[in-house]
Structure 1
Amino acid sequence: MTDLPAPIARWFDDRGWSIHPHQRAMLERAAAPATLLVAPTGGGKTMAGFLPTLAELARDPRPGLHTLYVSPLKALAADIRRNLTAPVAEMGLPIRIEDRTGDTRATARKRQRADPPHILLTTPESLALLTSYEDAPRIFAGLQRVIVDEIHALAESKRGDQLMLALARLSTLCPDLRRVGLSATVEDPPAIARLLARNPDPCEIITADPGPAPDIAMLATESAPPWYGGGGRYAIAEVLEQVRQHRTTLIFHNTRAQAEIFFHALWLANDDDLPIGIHHGSLSREQRERVEAAMVAGDLRAIVATGSLDLGIDWGDVDLVIQIGAPKNVKRLVQRIGRANHRYNAPSKARLLPANRFEVVECIAALQAVEAGDLDGEPRGPGPRDVLCQQILITACAGPFDADALYAEVTTAGPYAALDRAAFDACMEFCATGGYALRAYDKWQRLLQRPDGLWQLRDPRSAQRIRMNIGTIQDTDTLKVRMRGRNGAPLGEVEEGFAATLTAGDTFLIGGQIVRYENLREMTVVVSRDASATPRIATFMGTKFATSTQLSERILDMLNRDRWPELPHHTAEWLALQREVSVMPRADRLLIESFPHDGRAHTCIYGFAGRNAMQTLGLLVTRRMEVAGLHPLGFVASDYATLIWGLDPVEDPAPLLTGGEMREDLDGWLAQNAVMKRTFKASAVIAGLIERNTPQARKSGRQATFSSDILYDTLLRYDPDHLLMQITREEALRGLVDFGRIDEMFDRIGGRVQHVTLDRISPLAAPLILEIGRVPVVGAGRERLEAEEAARLMAEAGLDFG
């Protein structure tokens, strides 16, 4: 197996190439049950993954599916198909290569089931759907290998859990199936190897030469970054100059909204009419494909993008990456850097542009982490049970099954290796009856046990509805956007909540152009072109990332150095003033500042636990302040601090920050909170309790929320220990409120609180005053304000009701 077949060897020889050592190692280990390859971006890891497949098919080109390639992105699957098809054709190998994603047309999908190609490129969702068909054993007959690309990205989400359950199903259908994982950014290879392997089989790890260090630095700008906000528009001139100096520049943003706003500003400043484009997940497929085709052809000088182009796509001749805003995560930064000079032993070139003053510190910390090779990552807990419930229903769609055999299969998947039988049986019970409180409703009676002990769908017609709702991605509820007219062009999607704020005549950005809102028709936002230069409403929101734990630790370390020669003078002066006026936050204690500002008492808590956790901390502390009679009025949170304002000063913060009692407060607060209902809805959709799509039409977000809210209230009242309620509590603590980061913060400080009372706002707290996303506290403080204002007005009118 280590010798290449003649057509492949000739192809390498004709180009004067030799295979890299890690590619040779993959050939030598082609028969291993599982192999993880960690190789640098541009190091030929995709070819390394496919070489054993090409070699086997060159020797024995039998029909049928031989290799399945799974990618986190539809665009990556399409890109790999393009990049693999050309060399296979040049080698003269009779190998069919096709992709199958949500963008694949129905006729092609039907043909692929009837006559699978040799190599099929797909996503976790499409793979799960394929395994749900009755003819899955025929489709996958002869399958030899599965290649999971960018496995680190899948390992961090429920999509990875879904994929590992699908691989467990494939291994049941194809016992000799071999698994291959590929990634450039793995902080803990043994952990990823355990995830990839079929439990208890081992997984070999191959680590390639990392290659030269990247050329990465801060982008020098004439203006200092603003004190708050994001987007990087203050440096449009400098970014445009970089675009002029390079062949193709990828300009990454953390959110779709920021990408839209920046692209619009870049377009207006583009006096040279350089060809530039925009690419993100909310754009229509047609627009994304046009941009991708232009990138492949080398027709674009710059592309403003989000995570839709993060991963291993090799687009054109990219020779510079610019990251706008702090990356929040070192692995994400490394992935994005690797898009430039995507060649083996060619250093990637990247520049970072902080969006505000504090992000200067975060960007420097991220640069130092990249130089040190210090990748970040949060440990994943056990496989989530809502995904397991979905897998049980997927299995039932494919035909009758034995529960004992399915349990044995599920526990071969890494995330579910420790799943006990009682937890599995609870999921089975939920799928069969809906659980104790819902068993009286036929709607949730989905499985029945036959006299021979096998389980099957109660109504075979329900398979269609289950298939329509397969998947674990829980984006914000969105609506399609189309141009006005009978055959109006699709532009993309916006959040349903954003669409609800629009009135006729409002203008906003999508796909880099300004459009005018006309109306909402049949779940579609209808718009027309608008010639104005500035939109009335900037754009939809997008997702905000939280700074990783490891990056936060580096930031705290940097803040406590004696000097900051690596920082720009404006940022170093700001930090020096903080040290002079107050004290600097430290990792081993919790700094809390109290000071008056604008007639209100302010308290700033520097937890450095990430945005979600600091938001949760604000909710819990203001709740305790209410009980203590301190009359809080509101708070705002960032990745590093929570700022609270109210009527009365906090003189002793320690009672407000007792970790164990805070967890109890959180449980009580969550039960009645909208966060819990939002989490319940997401898990209920994944587990199949709520259908997001039906054969008739897709439900609106409001319809789905309405039905999920009713279900949540019913279960909370009559069956609070229902499986979905247990899952919801676990998911809320782990995800939206990120209480684990708060626990980590309390462990780190060990009860040490440093309270500093100031006579004015501190330098570090000042930007928080300007931060968007303020959360009002409706309570006694606001009531007191209203009563005082009423008394003042009455006195002014000469009235006294005392």
Structure 2
Amino acid sequence: MTALPPPFADWFATRGWTVHPHQQEMLERAHEPATLMIAPTGGGKTLAGFLPTLIELAEGRHDGLHTLYVSPLKALAADIRRNLTTPVTEMGLPIRIEDRTGDSSATTRRRQRADPPHILLTTPESLALLISYEDAPRIFAGLQRIVVDEIHALAESKRGDQLMLALSRLQAMVPGLRRVGLSATVEDPAAIAAFLARHPDPCGILFADPGPDPDIAMLETDAAPPWAGGGGRYAVPAVLDQVARHRTTLIFHNTRAQAELFFHEVWLQNEGALPIGIHHGALSREQRTRVEAAMVAGQLRAIVCTGSLDLGIDWGDVDLVIQIGAPKNVKRLVQRIGRANHRYNAPSKALLVPANRFEVVECLAALEAVKARDLDGEPRGPGPRDVLCQHILIRAASGPFRADDLFAEVTSAGSYASLGRADFDACLDFVATGGYALRRYDQWQRLMQVDGLWRLRDPRGTQRIRQNIGTIMDTDLVKVRLKNRRGGMPLGEVEEGFAATLSPGDTFLIGGEIVRYENLREMVVEVTRRPEKPPRIATFMGTKFATSTQLSQRILEMFRQDDWPELPPATRDWLRLQRARSRLPQADRLLVESFPFGGRAFTCVYGFAGRNAMQTLGLLVTARMEAEGLDPLGFVATDYATLIWGLRALEDPAPLFSGPDLRAGFETWLAGNAVMKRTFKQVAVISGLIDRQTRGQRKSGRQAAFSADILYDTLRKYDPDHLLLEITRQEALRGLVDFGRIEEMLARVSGRIDHVRCDRPTPLAAPLFLEAGRVPVEGAGTERLLATEAQRLMDAAGLEIDPAEAGRRWRAPF
């Protein structure tokens, strides 16, 4: 067994620590080419990953960069630097540790290129920028190890594919490079190991002791959850009570809008004046930094947050995590609850708050999955080719290359191991010429081949390439600042589309403040504080997570039970009534309900395929209904069902769900749909066809969309087989429309359809009425009318409704 050198053994002893078994095992495996370590949150993963590096640097002189650390978050890199600096300083080790992210100054970045530190902490985008420089071989000449933290989060996005392509380049520069991956939440270790390893080299997998089960339950509240909605407002008093009982609480939300609305409601009800902050990615860096500093200093009792605090950042003494709304994904829930009691073998404590009545069922399914250590996740597909196109540009920026050499490098990256030479050559041709329809335009003539070497036609193109590196496709955002003569304090960012809807005097929430829109000047929203006026809306659309396949399956399994003693009485009675009035959905059958209400014919389809897929199903089924003369008027979709309303009752649902016909209808619909243009814009930006920045100035979302629309229409007309159109179609299928889950649903039910005709809305369908768009009704009686209509609906379904909820949540869909 490898013993700790005396300085390290003494340092552990002075702190009363012993080396954990998995940390010791990492020392034993220090010289293996690749190792994936799966250890619980708070189990010392980071120290385990860095121990071999610290020991190697302490025992012998090493000039230049020794270890590269890559994380998904800039804040996580800064946090790791703080944590690593402590042992290095206390042991007096001559080791320089620095971070390099988008927040680093130009001066710092230049110095790091000239004189790299021993340990550099960075992000995938900053690493891609580093390998684009001509002097990259010198910068990385002494590199020994790379540590990829929270690898599960990177593996789920194109950022991970870009990182692995960058590692293939680094491995070509320094063949002996060793790779380490760290994570607490890996559902398929073999797949992540293959993703991390240099193909076809093996990657060892090290499992740490998973530790005790978390202390996790649903929060008990005096009020029952509402029938619809996602904000959790009803639970604010119970949440504040829990905050008062704990040292520091993280209150997670799935979207920025929900976080803003909940934070605003918390402050309205915070009679004890508990210090509470808000943290999410659209707030200004200054605001996030202030909240983080206050949290570390123990000055906050709670932080309302989103995924910005998901990962392994160790902020302060957190002893409770509250998840508002169903987590939609078990891995996300496990990651979040691990923020509490962030210590080895200390159980995390968490409470779940279902935002509505159905989410009670979903939260219970998630609790059971966590206790069973049953993580969810979708299988990884092949490496995306738009990311490969960007990598080819990055490689060209660093100097000339041979196609054969680059192909060998690329196919050593796990997700590109199956890439065929024809597909690689197609990407290279696109990068060089723009493709058949665009090769006549100089702006897309970027590469040329001389003596077997590919090089940039214009060396000045390197600046343009570097300005546009990255795969993160945020919603187009504009800055928000307080208005004054000198340029006011930055508050954060809002969607450009949202800003376009504002008129002077409109109020909205940002960073927990109510602000008044004054004007839009030079792509900056100028606002003033208006705390006395109610906010018009929260500003952020945010990501709308779809319930994972595994969670959906668990919910359907729960429906097979005879009864549900583990559910609260209100939810249990609701499901019993559904079974009595109609039936409960089953995993191997498709439940379709038909019923009249308010002079319209309604059809409810329970597919449990996730929000995107159910939305797509609504589009396809209503198109089929239109063809059959059923006169559909609209629909609304949730994760579990699609509610359609129209003029004529459905007699036979089977023809609507014929697999081949549905697929054909989908192809026709997709070809001309706005989804394709939206997806094409993302593919075009990542692949380098459209710049997001020109001469250092970021394009507005409208400018980029206008360029993308013109190019999309041009390619469809003149070059329908263009590489980017092919990539766009693949991306749309598995992304925004999620047609794969519709096909999985149809295969699962295999034509077995239960059509239940009812004389009124069923208990399970009734909440979907509250999800639809509000009919604009002007005048003082609006809320009274809405409450009356909501009560009429719930009376028809045999359900009770809170009067306050009736006025607030009713959305008439017809």
TM-score band by shorter chain is over 0.9
Alpha-carbon distance between aligned partners in 1 of 2:691 and 2:625, rounded to the nearest angstrom: 41
CA distance in 2, matches of 1:18, 1:772: 57
Amino acid at match of 2:472: I
Instruction: Tell me the residue number matched to 2:682.
Output: 682
1:505-654 to 2 correspondence within 5 Å? 505-532=505-532, 534-654=534-654
**TM-score computed with the length of structure 2 as normaliser:** 0.94
**8 Å contact 2:482–2:526 — kept in the other structure?**
yes
* Residue type at the aligned position of 2:386: D
Specify the SS of the correspondent of 1:520: strand
Matched with 1:243 is: 243
- Letter matched to residue 50 of structure 1: F
Q: CA offsets, 1:717-749, max 9 Å, x none?
A: 111110000000000001000011111111111
Specify the code of the residue in structure 1 equivalent to 2:687.
A
- DSSP 3-state at the match of 1:291: helix
Partner of 2:494: 494
1:467 aligns with 2:466: yes
Q: Deviations over 1:757-791 (max 9, x none)?
A: 11100100101001046899xxxxxxxxxxxxxxx
Deviation larger for 674-683 or 764-773:
764-773
Amino acid at match of 1:468: Q
Aligned to 2:430: 430
Task: Give 2:448's aligned amino acid.
Answer: L
Deviation string 1:82-128 (CA, Å, 9 cap, x unpaired) is: 11111211111111111111111211111111111111111111111
Partner of 2:452: 453
Once superposed, what is the RMSD of the aligned Cα atoms?
Answer: 1.2
Maintained 8 Å contact 2:495/2:539: no
Q: CA contact under 8 A between 1:77 and 1:99: conserved in structure 2?
A: yes
Range with greater deviation from structure 2 (592-601 or 357-366)? 592-601
> Which residue of structure 2 aligns with residue 265 of structure 1?
265
User: For residue 287 of structure 2, what is the aligned residue in structure 1?
Assistant: 287
Equivalent in the alignment of 2:475:
476
1:685–1:448 CA distance, 2 compared to 1 (3 A): same
**Using the alignment, how far apart are the partners of 1:36 and 1:212 within structure 2?**
22
Judged with a 3 Å threshold, the aligned counterparts in structure 2 of structure 1 residues 774 and 590 are, in CA distance, closer, same or farther, namely: farther
Tell me the percent identity: 77
CA distance in 2, matches of 1:774, 1:203: 54
Aligned to 2:799: none
Correspondences of 1:765-776 after superposition (within 5 Å): 765-772=765-772
Contact 1:634 1:775 in 2 (8 A): no
Counterpart contact for 2:547–2:639, Cα < 8 Å: yes
Pairing of 1:32-111 with structure 2 (within 5 A): 32-111=32-111
Q: Answer yes or no: is the 8 Å Cα contact 1:482–1:527 preserved in 2.
A: yes
Instruction: Give yes or no for contact 2:690–2:708 (8 Å, CA) kept in 1.
Output: yes
Query: Which residue in the other structure is 1:698 paired with?
Result: 698
For 1:25, the aligned partner's letter is: E
Letter in structure 2 aligned against 1:246? H
- Gaps spanning 5+ residues in structure 2: where? 777-814
Distance 1:350 1:533, change over 3 A: farther
8 Å contact 1:636–1:774 — kept in the other structure?
A: no
Q: Which residue of 1 aligns with 2:318?
A: 318
C-alpha distance after superposition, 1:20-58 (max 9, x if no partner) = 000000000000000000000000011000000001001
Distance 1:283 1:772, change over 3 A: farther
Q: Contact (CA 8 Å) 2:37, 2:208: kept in 1 or not? A: yes
| Superposition deviation, residue 63 in structure 1 | 2.3
Structure 1 CA distance for aligned equivalents of residues 420 and 531 of structure 2:
62
CA distance in 2, matches of 1:102, 1:579: 55
1:161 equivalent in structure 2: 161
* Structure 1 position 338, deviation (Å): 0.2
Question: 1:191-228 deviations in whole A, cap 9, x for unaligned?
Answer: 10000000000000000000011000000000000000
Q: What amino acid is aligned across from residue 78 of structure 1 in structure 2?
A: A
Task: Tell me, in whole angstroms, the C-alpha distance in 2 between the residues paired with 1:534 and 1:51.
Answer: 53
Distance 1:663 1:159 in 2: 31
8 Å Cα contact 2:63/2:142 also seen in 1: no
- Match in the other structure for 2:203: 203
1:749 matches 2:749: yes
* Aligned counterpart, 1:444: 444
Secondary structure at the aligned position of 1:448 is classed as strand
Between 665-674 and 321-330, report the one with greater CA deviation.
665-674
Is 1:19 matched with 2:19?
yes
What residue in structure 1 maps to residue 342 of structure 2?
Answer: 342
**CA distances 1:560-600 after superposition (whole Å, capped 9, x unpaired):** 21010110000000000000000110000100001111111
Task: State the distance in 1 between where 2:44 and 2:533 align.
Answer: 44
Paired residue type of 1:560: R
Q: 1:137, 1:289 → 2: CA distance?
A: 35
Which residue of 1 is the match for residue 780 of structure 2? none
What is the identity, as a one-letter code, of the residue corresponding to 1:159?
R
Distance 2:134 2:597 in 1: 67
CA–CA distance in 1 between the matches of 2:750 and 2:738?
A: 19
Pair 1:188-2:180 in alignment: no
1:396-443: per-residue Cα shift (whole Å, max 9, x none)?
000101110000000000000000000000000000000001111111
- Tell me the secondary structure at the aligned position of residue 352 of structure 1: strand
What's the counterpart of residue 232 of structure 1? 232
Name 2:779's counterpart in structure 1: none
Partner of 2:173: 173
Q: Which amino acid aligns with 1:156?
A: E
- Preserved contact between residue 250 and residue 321 of structure 1 (Cα < 8 Å): yes
Aligned to 1:779: none
Residues 7 and 92 of structure 1 are in contact (CA less than 8 Å); yes or no, is this contact kept in structure 2? no
Q: Distance in 2 between matches of 1:754 and 1:273?
A: 54
> What is aligned with 1:792?
none
User: Secondary structure of the residue that 2:729 maps to in structure 1?
Assistant: helix
Counterpart for residue 806 of structure 2:
none
d(CA) in 1 for partners of 2:3, 2:57: 14
The residue type equivalent to 2:409 in the other structure is: E
CA shift for structure 1 position 616: 0.4
Q: Matched residue of 1:612: which SS? A: helix
Q: Which residue of 2 aligns with 1:713?
A: 713
Is the contact between residue 510 and residue 538 of structure 2 (CA under 8 Å) also seen in structure 1? no
Counterpart residue number, 2:803: none
Aligned partner of residue 698 in structure 2, secondary structure: coil
> Counterpart of 2:492 in 1: which secondary structure?
strand
C-alpha distance in 1 between matches for 2:601 and 2:482: 50
- Specify the alignment match of 2:223 in structure 1: 223
Letter in structure 2 aligned against 1:534? P
Which residue type is aligned with residue 341 of structure 1? N
Contact 2:401–2:455 (Cα < 8 Å) also in 1: yes
Per the TM alignment, residue 535 of structure 1 is displaced from its structure 2 partner at its CA by 0.7
Alpha-carbon distance in structure 2 between the residues aligned to 1:284 and 1:775: 36
Query: How many pairs does the alignment contain?
Result: 775
Q: Secondary structure at the match of 2:694?
A: coil
Letter in 1 for 2:629: G
The answer to whether the Cα contact below 8 Å between 1:38 and 1:207 also exists between their aligned partners in 2 is yes
**Counterpart residue type for residue 464 of structure 1:** Q
Shift in Å, 1:696: 4.8
Per the alignment, in what secondary structure is the counterpart of residue 670 of structure 2? Answer: helix
**Partner SS, residue 755 of structure 1:** strand
Matches of 1:68 and 1:533 in 2, distance apart? 50
| Corresponding residue of 1:356 | 356
Q: State the Cα distance separating 1:531 from its structure 2 match.
A: 2.3
In structure 1, what residue type is equivalent to 2:573? E
**Structure 2 Cα separation of the partners of residues 210 and 646 of structure 1:** 53
- Between 1:527-536 and 1:72-81, the stretch displaced more is 527-536
In the alignment, which residue of structure 1 is the partner of 2:394? 394
